[in-house]
Amino acid sequence: MAITGRRHPPILTSGSPIKSELVYAPDGSVTGVRHAWTFDDMFSVFATQGLDSKKKGEFTREELAPLAEVNVSSLKEYDFFTYAKANGKKLEFNDPQAGYYLDYNTKDTVLTLYFTLPLKAPVKAKDLTLEVYDRELFRRLQLSPRRIRSSSSARPRNASSRSRARRK
């Protein structure tokens, strides 16, 4: 299942996509959520200002690694803006897996943060709700059944999601 949303958090503006994808194990259980969040150009330029790079205006993953660490560490305070329920029960996440990174798009001058949040325990559910939002801004994005996508062929055929996009 995947969601593409807009305006979250404040540095993700109307032109900045948020993509979240459920990760499935071979047995069909959900094991986590893979995020790809693109920051707006203003934040991206500000964040990369003063960073050393081999080529002016271009940044490698290695050059952006310290910035990725700051981003991921900062998001922990906000539960990574990620909330999930399975069959009506709240799901807990572990910290992001190693291997998170930032990518810099030189054409659009934007950064995209890629990270995966593993669930504390895999879950098989008839009803799964994933919400990605900033509680302080009261912006909410939920999975849309029209945008269902899986990172694995293990996604059960009978898997379903409830979804609606709304503002509080």
Q: Are the C-beta atoms of residues 48 and 59 closer than 8 Å to each other?
A: yes
Q: Is the pLDDT of residue 152 over 90?
A: no
pLDDT of 9 reads 46
Residues 96-127: tens digit of each pLDDT: 989 999 999 999 999 999 999 999 999 998 89
Mean pLDDT of 45-70: 91
Measure the CA angle with vertex 22, ends 165 and 38; round to 5°.
Answer: 65
Output the 3-class SS for the chain: CEEEECCCCCCCCCCCCEEEEEEECCCCCEEEEEEEEECCHHHHHHHHCCCCCCCCCCCCHHHHHHHHHHHHHHHHCCHHHEEEEECCEEECECCCCCCCEEEEECCCCEEEEEEEEEEEEEECCCCEEEEEEECCCCEEEECCHHHCCCCCCCCCCCCCECCCCEEC
Residues 7-27: tens digit of each pLDDT: 344 455 445 678 899 999 999
Q: Which pLDDT band holds residue 41 (cuts at 50, 70, 90)? A: confident
Q: Label residue 65 left, alpha or beta by phi (over 0 means left) and psi (-120 to 50 means alpha).
A: alpha
pLDDT of 154 reads 58
pLDDT of 164 reads 37
pLDDT of 158 reads 52
Cα 37 to chain centroid distance, Å, stands at: 6
